[in-house]
Amino acid sequence: MAQKIKLEEENARIGRHLWRDCASRECIRTLKLLTRKYQLSVALGDISFLNRGWYVTHTGLLGLALRNRCAGIEAHPVIGLCDPKSRCWAFAATVYKTKTCRGFVGYGDADPSNVSPLVHGAEMRVAETRAVNRALRKAYGIGICSVEELGSYTPPPPVQNLSGPGKLPAQPENGNGYGEPKVRDRLCQIIRHHQLDPTLVKSYATDFCGVKSLRDATREQVENFVVHLADWADKDGNALLCQLNSYMRTSEGVA
């Protein structure tokens, strides 16, 4: 019980830092209820806050299945609904909670019109993930939608260089180490490799570090953010893009 309460408080604290819009009492209350029921962790990327609502992630659903000793997951394409030439895919997934369970079935589809342009060419994998997510949500009674089930959205523009208005500051005035070559170069490398918008990354970093300006963050906070960003980008780039996209409306106000 003590661990659940600790996780609730940790999620609430990190949630307030990551997402400005979720600071309301009702949003935090919902987060705590979801934490208590499903043991989802914000720090591990199990749950995300988008468009004023909570969304579970593929990582969170798999973790939930593991904790509940899920007996198995099967997934296969629905041949009659697939068209490889046009990159249209539909999958059916079945989750078996126990060895004697009849199974919970979920369907997922994906095509170039309902996935991010950054994952074009991977529609088959997206469709499979969506099917598995729906099946897992049915099996474990999760009413909130998963991030991966969301349709297409307006992606951040491709990164051409870091010398424009969205450039991340190279030399902070307070000597917090943000401008140190290793930290700065690593962050720039992540941004370029995953084609992230530096302005949105800066907004996310500010929230992650819990400061009003990134110049106020300590070196340790920035290093932790860089590690977190790299890990999330490698494990679930689609969810990260959704997270960054939530800053699109406020990015114009970031210096």
Q: What is the pLDDT of residue 248?
A: 65
Average pLDDT, integer, range 169-193:
60
The mean pLDDT value for 230-234 works out to: 81
User: What is the three-class DSSP state of 107?
Assistant: strand
Quote the CA–CA distance of 246 and 35 in Å, as a whole number. 22
**Nearest alpha-carbon partner for 194 in 168, 232, 248:** 232
> Alpha-carbon distance 201 to 188, whole Å?
10
Q: pLDDT tens digits for 157-171?
A: 333 343 344 444 444
Cβ count within 10 A of residue 102: 9
Left, alpha or beta for 248 (phi > 0: left; psi -120 to 50: alpha)? Answer: alpha
**217 band by pLDDT with thresholds 50, 70 and 90:** confident
Segment 104-125, tens digit of pLDDT: 999 999 999 888 877 888 999 9
Averaged pLDDT of the chain = 81
